[in-house]
Amino acid sequence: MADKKFPGLWIETGDDGKICIVMSGAYRPETHLPFVTPAEDLVAAVEMDYTFYRREVQRLYEKHPLFEAKLDISVSELEDLSTEALLLPSMLHEIDPLGFFELGNLLDKDLRMRDDGSASFRIRVGQRLLQTLEVPIYTQIRLRNIMEMAFDGMERVTQQERFEKLRSVYPQVAKFCDPAQLDGYENVILSLPVENVYQLRLVELMLYFRQKKQRIARCDYCWNYFIPKT
């Protein structure tokens, strides 16, 4: 167990198998998301639609003048890109509050990069900003890859067999989300800090493999994930 002593992301478990995700900011009050089961949150995360957000990030890559081939890159171009980059996370505020929270912290660090005096500094900062904006997208891609290994075509096997399949394909991932780490904590309410949203998803997987009431399955027709009622 851990007490909240610093800003960041936390997972708090309930006594009913549900979890609450807490966003603790340095300059803003804590935000508690609604209680859900690990299975419900994993399905929601992997099915989140980033289509419009991804399109806007790609537009900056392809059309912003900062990235045009030229000898001189003005300060105003970097300032303009930074302004546009800081506006994009607002697109995630409703559909992905965790991604919105994480981007706020990451973009703040990017904008604090010190100018090293090199001619390429402005272009590197611009590239760094757009790479940061892609973090929620790549977090989902990594989660989808993990779930495809553990859940696709594995509807009728046990949770342990699913976990062993994951271990055989992604041993480092399985090491982090091994439910055996929680042995001895049955019926104990936990408060678990995580470093980022990707690590949060791995902790959710650990909590998911720990329980047997809900199973995540994948539809053979639409390929979407869901939780069967039976």
State pLDDT tens for residues 91-147: 999 999 999 999 998 998 888 888 776 668 888 899 999 999 999 999 999 999 999
How high does pLDDT run on average in the chain? Answer: 89
Would you state the structure tokens that stand for residue 36, as one six-digit string? Answer: 């859900």
The model's pTM is 0.90
Give, in order, the Cα–Cα distances in Å from 194 to each of 4, 8, 58, 201, 224: 11, 7, 29, 9, 27
Better pLDDT: 28 or 88: 88
Residues 110, 202: Cα–Cα separation, whole Å: 25
| Buried-exposed string 65-92: b where 16+ CB fall within 10 A, e elsewhere | ebbeeeeebeeebbeebbebbbebbebb
12-28 pLDDT tens trace? 998 888 999 999 876 67
pLDDT (mean) for 55-69: 93
145-190 pLDDT tens trace? 999 988 888 778 889 999 999 999 999 999 999 999 988 887 788 8
215-224 pLDDT tens trace? 998 888 888 9
Residues 209, 188: Cα–Cα separation, whole Å: 17
* DSSP 8-state code for residue 114: P
Which pLDDT belongs to residue 34?
A: 94
